[in-house]
Amino acid sequence: MGQVVADGTASRRIIGLTGGIATGKSTVSDYLACRYEWPVLDADVFSREAVAKGSEILGWVRDRYGPSILLPDGTLNRLQLGEIIFSNASEKQWIEQRIHPYVRARFREETAAIAPTQTLVYSIPLLFEAKLTHLVTEIWVVACSPAQQLERLMKRNKLTEREAQTRMDAQMNLDEKCKQADHILDNSRSRAALLLQVDELVGA
């Protein structure tokens, strides 16, 4: 189904790609970009832009947490910020209230620059949490078991079990996301099995 624009006509298919941390969203988005050449707009990329060196938002972060939140080269100390926001819900909310408006604006800008008939992929880890479901025409959730998610996150980010679990707990429960999905991609098996499901959905 295409998104309805101001004049009431259907314009484009916009896939909201989400899931839990370390469930395999990047594998799916990279495949869609490479195999099908669908533009992928990534909320994580825009979030990093928001706190880039010299940005206004990074200045606000420094003012709130002090100069130690910056690395010697003036960029954000992401490890330190992660320790703050994943252990303090109010600080996480403060950060999101600054970054989310920037991310929404970047989605609007990038979407406006792409032909209105082109299918797009919005890769948004916090699609539900940030209440951005209205931006997409269908929702794909990449899922695996909690045990697999924990193991993958620990390995990918070099985290302890406690650190990884804290990050998982900071997001909406994956089962809840699956209940609200139009399509669920099961990433509990092989990469090939996951991409076969993607192929099926592309042609749906």
Cβ–Cβ < 8 Å for 31, 163? no
The residue type of 135 is L
The residue written with tokens 């101001």 in the block is 6
Mean pLDDT by 10 residues, the chain (204 residues): 38 94 97 98 97 98 97 96 92 96 96 96 95 96 97 95 93 96 97 98 88
User: What global pTM score does this model have?
Assistant: 0.89
Give pLDDT, residue 87. Answer: 87
Q: Distances in Å between the alpha carbon of 121 and those of 7, 33, 76, 128? A: 23, 9, 28, 16
Residue 184 has a CB neighbour count (10 Å cut-off) of: 18
The residue type of 158 is K
Cα distance between residue 124 and residue 121, in whole Å: 9
Cα distance between residue 187 and residue 87, in whole Å: 28
Of the candidate CATH numbers 3.90.105.10, 3.90.79.10, 3.40.50.2300, 3.40.50.300, the domain formed by 1-39+117-204 belongs to 3.40.50.300
Give pLDDT, residue 105. Answer: 96
Domain boundaries, the chain: 1-39+117-204, 46-113
Give pLDDT, residue 157. Answer: 93
